[in-house]
Amino acid sequence: METTKEQTLANEQTVAIGSCQYPGSFFDNNYAYQAWRQLTDDNGDLRAQTMILLGDQIYADATAGLFETENPIAQYLYPYEQLHTRLRNVKTPPGKYSLNDDHEMIENWEPVSPHSASAEKVEIARNYGLDCYRDHGYCKGYPQNYNQAPYFRALDYLPFPIFLCDTRTEREHRSTGNFLDAKMFSEQQMQALKEWLITHRQDELKIITSPAALLPRSAAANRPQPSDDQQVHGLPFTSSVLRSDAWDGYPATFSELLTFIAKESLTGIVFVSGDFHFSSVSSLNMMHGGNQTTVHLIHCSGLYSPFPFANATPPDLLLNDEFWLPASMQGSLLDVCQHSTQISDCIHCQVATEVVEAGDGFCFIKVSADGFLEIEFSRHHKPENPIYRKPLQEKQFV
């Protein structure tokens, strides 16, 4: 069957996004990489021209310390060789991009106190992990010296603009003393992201990819704590956020970006993330000063996430959520919290989430001919894939 001009155009405007490829073993090698075969249709034609991997393309800590090795080649290099070997005959899109997350280094990597007993181990994991990711990762395209050039980047030459947000390597150390102001990433990246959003203000669709999930928030990290002095009018800022490895675990970064989007009344923004081994489609509605801003959020499945205990479930997340953010981000977040004593000083946020049928596979994103955001979750074990359609210029929150 020949590919029509319309099909070719649709494929060129489709992006395949995935994350979390747990390695296969002697028992499941044939099954572990089945998701990659969904990149082509029944005729062998590519379903997308662009592919983005959102972290955890290998698991350097796959045995969770059970068979830990002191050999960095075995821990960090061999998993990439195994991945390349397993995918050598898989047809993939010509445009390939990636971001790294924690399992390319060590689980839930973030800087620790220099006085911690694990400080040296954590730093070694970062250095070896980034070296091997840069030199042997499945998708290349980053500067050779990662210490001189950032991992975040804008892809403005695709059918729609995409910003690759590095939510792992620039993190600051968190503690009960600084959790309100610790940053998930640098001021340089935040400024670049804001400028990119303003530049593409008029674009119908702009995608921000993020290995860490922006929303839904973690239930364990955001339980109400009335006794906490930082809980002001529902502002989601208590020390329990230290339990979260996602955006909500860094209130300053979380608040600054969402406040900026709301105050600038930016539309057409879609966040796509991975990491949770969980699939969902959410809408965030932000109200402030009579203005309403809606952001869509897509959470991709794992490409292969075989262990149920490591996969998020609906009770782990605040699927239908309500919270407030400060309308002004002048000064430190601690100062903002102490002065945001009126509801009028805050942005009212509501989150509504649809949980997608569980399963592994890529997420395919495109804009349909009638102007809808079309999201397809590939499920190689099912005859039909779940498909969701969302209006890009949504006016009312449902």
338 part of a folded domain: yes
Residues 6 or more apart whose Cβ sits within 8 Å of residue 95? 49, 50, 51, 158
Tokens of 287: 């109200």
Percentage of the chain surpassing pLDDT 70?
A: 83
CA distance 356 to 219: 19
Tokens of 49: 């021209």
In the chain, at which residue ranges do the beta strands (DSSP E only) sit? 15-21, 50-54, 95-99, 153-155, 162-164, 206-210, 217-218, 269-273, 280-288, 291-299, 302-304, 317-318, 321-326, 346-355, 363-367, 372-377, 387-391
According to the model, what pLDDT value does residue 271 have? 97
Q: Answer yes or no: is pLDDT of 210 > 90.
A: yes
pLDDT digits (tens, 9 = 90+) for 222-231: 876 554 444 4
CA distance 291 to 114: 45
pLDDT digits (tens, 9 = 90+) for 376-385: 999 876 778 8
According to the model, what pLDDT value does residue 146 have? 47
Q: What is the pTM of this model?
A: 0.89
| Averaged pLDDT, 195-218 | 95
Main-chain dihedrals φ then ψ at residue 315, nearest 5 degrees:
-65, -15
Among 124, 123, 104, CA closest to 62: 104
87 part of a folded domain: yes
33 part of a folded domain: yes
Which three-class secondary structure state does DSSP give residue 130?
helix
According to the model, what pLDDT value does residue 229 have? 45
115 part of a folded domain: yes
Which three-class secondary structure state does DSSP give residue 125?
helix
218 part of a folded domain: yes
According to the model, what pLDDT value does residue 225 have? 54
Q: Answer yes or no: is pLDDT of 120 > 50.
A: yes
Range in 82-86, 214-218, 311-315, 367-371 with the lowest mean pLDDT: 367-371
Among 164, 177, 391, CA closest to 296: 391
CA distance 274 to 20: 7
Among 262, 393, 254, CA closest to 327: 262
According to the model, what pLDDT value does residue 396 have? 39
pLDDT category, 326, cuts 50, 70, 90?
A: confident
| Averaged pLDDT, 335-343 | 55
Q: Answer yes or no: is pLDDT of 3 > 50.
A: no
396 part of a folded domain: no
Q: For the chain, first and last CA: distance in Å?
A: 42
Which three-class secondary structure state does DSSP give residue 182?
coil
According to the model, what pLDDT value does residue 5 have? 42
CA distance 234 to 85: 50
According to the model, what pLDDT value does residue 140 have? 57
pLDDT digits (tens, 9 = 90+) for 11-27: 568 999 999 999 988 78
Which three-class secondary structure state does DSSP give residue 367?
strand
Complete DSSP assignment for 74-121: IIIIHHHHHHHHHTTT----SEEEEE--GGGTSTT-----TTSTTHHH
Domain region containing 40? 5-391
- Total domains in the fold of the chain: 1
Q: Answer yes or no: is pLDDT of 104 > 50.
A: yes
Q: Answer yes or no: is pLDDT of 9 > 90.
A: no
**CB-count burial class (<10 Å; 0-12, 13-18, 19+) for 22:** buried
According to the model, what pLDDT value does residue 214 have? 97
Task: Please work out, in degrees rounded to the nearest 5, the angle formed at the alpha carbon of residue 172 by the alpha carbons of 164 and 231.
Answer: 100
Find where tokens 């989601």 sit: 236
Q: Facing residues of 391 across strands?
A: 372
According to the model, what pLDDT value does residue 317 have? 95
Q: Answer yes or no: is pLDDT of 236 > 70.
A: no
- Alpha helix positions (H), the chain: 5-12, 29-32, 72, 78-86, 119-136, 187-199, 251-263, 333-339
| Averaged pLDDT, 33-49 | 92
pLDDT digits (tens, 9 = 90+) for 281-295: 999 999 988 889 999
pLDDT category, 328, cuts 50, 70, 90?
A: confident
Q: Answer yes or no: is pLDDT of 123 > 80.
A: yes
pLDDT, mean over the chain: 84
Find where tokens 């489709």 sit: 14
Residues 6 or more apart whose Cβ sits within 8 Å of residue 56? 19, 20, 21, 101, 102, 103, 104, 211, 274, 275, 302
Length of the chain: 398
Among 321, 330, 327, 391, CA closest to 349: 321
pLDDT category, 343, cuts 50, 70, 90?
A: low
Q: Between 381 and 10, whose confidence is greater?
A: 381
According to the model, what pLDDT value does residue 2 have? 45
pLDDT category, 243, cuts 50, 70, 90?
A: very high
398 part of a folded domain: no
Among 221, 320, 312, 223, CA closest to 273: 312
CATH number, residue 253: 3.60.21.70
Q: Tell me, what DSSP letter sits at residue 129? A: H
Q: Between 150 and 9, whose confidence is greater?
A: 150
According to the model, what pLDDT value does residue 206 have? 94
Q: Answer yes or no: is pLDDT of 391 > 50.
A: yes
Range in 6-20, 24-38, 155-169, 297-311 with the lowest mean pLDDT: 6-20
8 A C-beta contact, residue 149 and residue 210: no
Q: Answer yes or no: is pLDDT of 395 > 60.
A: no
Q: Answer yes or no: is pLDDT of 258 > 60.
A: yes
164 part of a folded domain: yes
